[in-house]
Amino acid sequence: MPTRNHYRKTWLVTGGAGFIGSHLCDRLIEAGDGVLCVDNYLTGSRDNIAHLLDHPHFEVMRHDVTFPLFVEVDGIYNLACPASPIHYQRDPVQTTKTSVHGAINMLGLAKRLNVPILQASTSEVYGDPEVHPQTEDYWGHVNPIGTRACYDEGKRCAETLFFDYHRAHNLEIKVARIFNTYGPRMHPNDGRVVSNFIVQALKGEDITLYGDGEQTRSFCYVDDLVEGLIRLMNTGPETTGPINLGNPGEFTMRELAVKVLEETAASSQLVHEPLPADDPRQRQPDITLAIQKLDWAPRVALKDGLKPTVSYFWQILQAQ
């Protein structure tokens, strides 16, 4: 059983072989800390952490967070959960269990160890918002019985559990509401708009716009997001969140498609398909709290973040 290292902090990162989780593992190791990466590889990949496997302060454990975990660590980043519609709708019951049972198990571990725990929540808790941009005090507009509810309501319930553990047990919690994040190590078939557009463009296929293409999203480069997560974890016990972490720059899907075409120099055409059920019309984080509490704001512009992301997908496609 992994034991706590008394010379540096050891962090448990659930979902550590995933897109965001693997970048977080990188940053924690670079900072000189130890990492216990836990993943069941449902959507994560050992390829994302292959470069860390021989590092003396990095451990990996194949484990599903819906089952209890007994380890010794100094803090927990709970990122375990499929995060794209194509993945979380494949087994919606398991998705809800991962958010809810996973939260219960990780909160129980944090309570036993008396260590801080950070929940990777999501902008999906706002649903199809009636408030724009979204602030943390907005309760959301979510369909509780729709096809996206397994993820949306699962994450909302996880937030409930975190704050109940905080109130009932004085547990130190941190809740980050993550808005659309992109960058290298995204799954090429995850159905997210950035990966979809880039892969379609690189393959010379038409780029699919859903609806009229005027729905908006805000895209945060993964390095900026990870910096925000670490800053939130390093705040004092009085800072619980929830805190929005995302890039407030707002783009329509059509604008994103044009930027991808420019970056890939592709000749793809834009085609339209019906809008999926409960797909939000607009998303934009209000990051006032993150600026005030964390001294954090994203630095990487969309055009700059697309360059390494396109390069990553090009390498992936070339290897296939």
- At 7 the pLDDT is 53
| Spatial CA neighbour of 129 closest among 138, 119, 120 | 138
Contacts of residue 90, defined as CB under 8 A and 6 or more positions apart, other chains included, come to 82
Strand runs (DSSP E) across the chain, as ranges?
A: 10-14, 34-39, 58-62, 75-78, 117-122, 173-178, 181-182, 207-210, 216-218, 220-221, 243-245, 250-252, 270-273
Q: Which fold has domain 10-182+221-247+284-299?
A: Rossmann fold (3.40.50)
C-alpha of 112 from chain center: 26
Is the Cβ–Cβ distance between 218 and 283 less than 8 Å? yes
The pTM (predicted TM-score) of the whole model is 0.93
Which listed residue (77, 88, 126, 151) is catalytic? 151
Task: Give the separation between CA 34 and CA 17, rounded to whole angstroms.
Answer: 15
pLDDT bin (cut points 50, 70, 90) of residue 312 is very high
If phi > 0 it is left, if psi is from -120 to 50 it is alpha, else beta; for residue 241 that is: left
Per-residue pLDDT for 84 more than 80?
no
Per-residue pLDDT for 273 more than 90?
no
- Residues 85-97: tens digit of each pLDDT: 777 888 899 999 9
Mean pLDDT of 301-317: 95
Task: List Cα–Cα distances, 269 to 120, 189, 257, 274, in angstroms.
Answer: 36, 20, 10, 17
- 41 an active-site residue? no
Between vectors from CA 108 to CA 105 and to CA 110, what angle results, nearest 5°? 110
Q: For the chain, what percent of residues have pLDDT higher than 90?
A: 82
Task: Give the separation between CA 224 and CA 296, rounded to whole angstroms.
Answer: 9
Beta strand pairing status for 75-78 and 34-39? unpaired
| Residue boundaries of the structural domains of the chain | 10-182+221-247+284-299
Task: Give the separation between CA 173 and CA 171, rounded to whole angstroms.
Answer: 6
Query: Cβ of 74: how many Cβ atoms within 10 Å?
Result: 17
Is the Cβ–Cβ distance between 218 and 194 less than 8 Å? no
- Residues 98-136: tens digit of each pLDDT: 999 999 999 999 999 999 999 999 999 999 889 999 999
Contacts of residue 75, defined as CB under 8 A and 6 or more positions apart, other chains included, come to 9, 11, 12, 115, 116, 117, 118, 233
Is the Cβ–Cβ distance between 52 and 25 less than 8 Å? yes
